[in-house]
Structure 1
């Protein structure tokens, strides 16, 4: 795999320069781009040598945008230190408000949901990527929240079903298959006592979703009922993110302002399965790998993305390794220079990410395979896998 690097007027500290100088030993790909302030990013195109990513940008006086960039993974080894030659604008839409989070519809990548700093959500249907004016797309407004929000997620089983959440303490469910310039929610949940930070559908169950909030709880809902079916006091401070395992239907990970990443089996919530402890500040995002059942990534206020291998929970460490961190912490990404608001695992390319930070940097990076230890058949998850198969 090729090693790519691009920089445009990015201010480096001494630590980040050290990372830059040594990154070729750990990464196959590093592509950096200076953009507007971005809180969200996701892979848009998932195959081929030309990859596309989508970000929500605040370009200050130049406006707010939903932008799609494309870049190539098939070039020779390049260290491009000036300009944006490795990124090309594929599509962009100017919006009235800042984009807090973007989610691409799983069954149709040309349909994009985003939630804005006003709490309003938008459904953007790209009709013609070659046209950047109103003829190139249609837009539907989802007006129901009365405060800003970050959580938005598509149902993987029921096409067009969308969940949103916001600081108005509400979770709203939308049927985006309905027609109109504006849609009303088809159901509303008001179970949290504080702002709701994140919501996610269970990829294994079309009727189930989870949410986390500033009331320190993780709640599980069933759309066939009027209230939550499970309530867990999950952390000591605000819970900012949750992720369902794509491999095990009862496994969830949460991340909190208390600096802890927590693993849960929702069949038995009397105690956590495990606490992953190494972050030095608030955690804003947690996410299971789509390719490996053992891997979890987390990011936050400490400007790092940590990659965890849960198969190594319980391993003994000696000497220098014991000083670095717990055995399940297998890599620390330090390429982003400020608070990392969001990252996204590539759905088909192992160990490949896109991430954005408060330094106005969009980063695409892929770890060398030998950096990730392949020990998925031992320890914690091997036991857990047997437990799930017996149920």
Structure 2
């Protein structure tokens, strides 16, 4: 396992000595057994935690040096002690990460290539799918900002648009993958905002003082914190939202004035909902992650009846993301310091007692390398790196990891689809 420790502040130990020792022992056990589970693991300690992480889609393969250069979007949360920055980081990975060839390779450390000054902490940062150079953030103040990650070298790196409407802390942030320039945000003020950055000329704004943009629509249907909001992956008109008011709402941009087109009240019994994610393969499948540690699967054609409830985490779900490459694989991050990869095609399979003791049949793999709550996760979008994930935790640690080939081989390279019976 690679460890980068440049400019690192060691996280403070917790007051509860017994609990801290237990976490330390768990980490040691994970580290000792990591060679059995991972093709690759890299750990980087930052000076300040990054609440957000996302792979950028482009990679550079250097066959001479046998490396792959990858890039990530991260942020900072200094709690006001220092300036906060949106950051573009890079990491060189061994070329053998793509196949089974084992070599003694050296790769460069985790590097920060660009920094963009940001007002307050960055809760989430996401690139626009149609143009990855354009990056949106949402902050602790509720404000969102648009940046251009230009290839040109410039000392004047700043936001080009300020999206100001929310009055409280915000985490919900989603670009429309089918309608360029359309952005969703949500915040603790119980509101959802729709933005259209196409109304501004970004090429012009890049060389001028940042301008403000007003939302094209504001929705007030939730009665508590709106923790997450996501566009549908196939229908440019649909999006969903989840809230501490325990509700899952589905909206259609063509009928916003009449409220959500679908509602699931008390989607996770009596607990709030932190996250949601629409499938990258099925037009009707979505997942929700709750404060009660469970993950719900829903079918848009019958949202009132939950398809399945997945149990494996021990604390609140913080993030959900379906694999962009393999149908039915879902990653979840949690306050229990774990990332779980689920294979929902295994739901309902018979187990012997030993396997059942290890977890539900759909629990494909548990990543236990973090020692603090996991705040965000990201699958690499390039299919050649389809089992490579990034995760970030509240103790300043970022981990990049790839499941070992012998674990992923049963589905590796196979185009799988969920059977129709799953939705019955």
TM-score, scaled relative to structure 1: 0.91
Q: Which residue of 1, 19, 43 corresponds with 2:30?
A: 19
Deviation at 1:339, TM superposition (A): 0.1
Q: Is the Cα–Cα contact under 8 Å of residues 261 and 286 in structure 1 kept in the other structure?
A: no
> Which of 98, 104, 114 is the aligned partner of 2:137?
114
Look up the SS of the partner of 2:419 in the other structure.
helix
Give the whole-Å Cα distance in 1 for the aligned partners of 2:29 and 2:371. Answer: 12
User: Once the 2 structures are TM-superposed, how far is the Cα of residue 383 of structure 1 from its aligned partner?
Assistant: 2.8
Q: Specify the alignment match of 2:399 in structure 1.
A: 363
Match of 1:183 in 2: 213
Q: Which residue of 2 aligns with 1:51?
A: 70
Contact 2:169 2:187 in 1 (8 A): yes
Larger strand share, 1 or 2? 1
Native 8 Å contact 1:198 1:240 kept in 2: yes
Specify which of 359, 370, 376 is matched with residue 342 of structure 1. Answer: 376
Distance, in Å, in 1 between the alignment partners of 2:224 and 2:410 is 41
Say whether 1:153 aligns with 2:183. no
Give the aligned partner of residue 52 of structure 2.
40
Inter-partner Cα distance in structure 1 for 2:387 and 2:177: 23
User: Cα–Cα, structure 1 residues 371 and 47, in superposed 2: closer, same or farther, change >3 Å?
Assistant: same
Separation in 1 of the partners of 2:227 and 2:142? 12
Runs of 4+ in 1 over 6 A off after TM superposition: 376-380
| Residue-pair matches, total | 378
Alignment-derived partner of residue 72 in structure 1: 92
CA distance in 1, matches of 2:152, 2:416: 47
Which residue, 66, 70, 86 being the options, matches 2:109? Answer: 86
SS of the residue corresponding to residue 73 of structure 1 reads: strand
Cα distance in 2 between the residues matched to 1:230 and 1:386:
18
Q: Which runs of no fewer than 5 residues in structure 2 stay unpaired?
A: 12-22, 61-67, 96-102, 206-210
Which shifted more, 239-248 or 9-18?
A: 9-18
Name which of 355, 360, 364 aligns with 1:326: 360
Write the deviation string for residues 248-300 of structure 1: whole angstroms up to 9, x where unpaired.
11111000001110000010123111110111111111221111111011111
Which range moved further: 353-362 or 61-70?
61-70
Alignment of 1:267-286 (within 5 A): 267-286=301-320
Give the drift of 1:379: 11
With over 3 angstroms needed to count, the CA separation of the structure-2 counterparts of 1:77 and 1:118, relative to structure 1, is farther
> Is contact 1:163-1:174 (8 Å) kept?
yes
Paired with 1:122 and 1:167, the residues of 2 have a C-alpha distance of 17
Partners in 1 of 2:381 and 2:416 — Cα distance?
25
- Aligned partners of 2:149 and 2:288: how far apart in 1? 33
Structure 1 residue 232 and structure 2 residue 264: aligned? Answer: yes
1:5 has 2:2 as partner: yes
Q: CA RMSD in A?
A: 2.3
Q: Following the alignment from structure 1 to structure 2, what is the Cα–Cα distance between the partners of residues 176 and 380?
A: 36
Q: What is the Cα deviation at residue 5 of structure 1?
A: 1.0
Structure 2 contact 378–391 (Cα < 8 Å) conserved: yes
Per-residue deviation, residues 80-134 of structure 1 (Å, max 9, x unmatched): 9xxxx51122211121200010110001111000001000000001234533x21
Q: Determine if contact 2:307/2:423 at 8 Å carries over to the other structure.
A: no
Partners of 1:339 and 1:204 in 2: how far apart?
32
1:78 deviation in Å? 5.7
Q: Which residue of 1 aligns with 2:18?
A: none
Q: Do the aligned partners of 1:59 and 1:65 also contact (CA within 8 Å) in 2?
A: no
Q: CA deviation at 1:173?
A: 0.5
Deviations 1:338-374 (A, max 9, x none): 1001000111222211111011001111111222363
Cα distance in 2, alignment partners of residues 77 and 33 from structure 1: 20
> TM-score, normalised on structure 2?
0.84
Residue 375 of structure 1: CA displacement? 5.8
Secondary structure in 1 aligned to 2:137?
strand
Displacement of 1:301: 0.9
Residue of structure 1 aligned with 2:119, choices 91, 96, 110 = 96
SS at match of 1:224: helix
1:352–1:118 CA distance, 2 compared to 1 (3 A) = same
Match of residue 82, structure 2, among 52, 57, 62 = 62
